[in-house]
Chains A and B, each alone.
Chain A
């Protein structure tokens, strides 16, 4: 899996968009970018993933740069319940999704 780098922490005001960056400069062509989040001591929750195109689902949007060396997870209207540690993971997947979680970004949504 390619190494990913994320800021340790970020703050966001409730109702505003939260933009969480991730650098994965050594990502290879067959590696996807996955985002998970973990709300305090709960099991991690899948958010979204993508290869090279931008992706959107009911939870978030994922913007991947054209050179695929970085990406941004966007929570369009952050709520207090979005306060969590967000993990960016680059992996080729296949049948072995032994995801390697780094330290992630602690996003704190403030009222």
Chain B
């Protein structure tokens, strides 16, 4: 158990819909990262937040947005969903020790029909 909690574990929805994925980082971790893993793309970095502020952005689509709340949990919002958005979405957190160890959650599997 990494200490990172993601909900929901599974989500099935239709094209054009909007979903929200939630992540609770390990206690005390200030950084939250979102990754997308689809069959043909591997693990792709989407975005990072540090203590409520966006810190780094990767290959995140404009239809996707994220935020980190004062209690440090984070949400990834996916809108106007397309079939190609079907993937595993992982959240990870890290502390400020400088060790570079990311702790990943078990992921949210999104299926868009």
- With A42-B106, A97-B94 as contacts: A32 and B100 at CB distance below 8 Å: yes
Given contacts A36-B102, A46-B102, 14 further A-B contacts (CB under 8 A): A32-B100, A41-B109, A42-B106, A42-B107, A43-B92, A43-B105, A43-B106, A44-B92, A98-B33, A98-B45, A98-B58, A99-B45, A101-B42, A102-B42
> How extensive is the interface on chain B, given as a class?
20 to 34
Residue B56 lies at the interface, judged by CB distance under 8 Å to chain A: yes
CB distance from A57 to the nearest CB of B (A): 11
Q: What residues make up the interface of B, taking CB atoms closer than 8 Å to A?
A: 2, 4, 31, 33, 35, 42-43, 45, 48, 50, 55-56, 58, 88, 90, 92, 94, 96, 98-107, 109
Taking a contact as CB atoms closer than 8 A, the residue among A34, A38, A41, A42 that contacts B100 in the complex is A34
Residue of A nearest to B109 (CB): A41
CB distance from B35 to the nearest CB of A (A): 8
- Dominant secondary structure at the A interface: loop
Residues of A within 8 A of B105 (CB): 43
- In A11-46, the 8 Å CB interface with B consists of 32, 34, 36, 38, 41-46
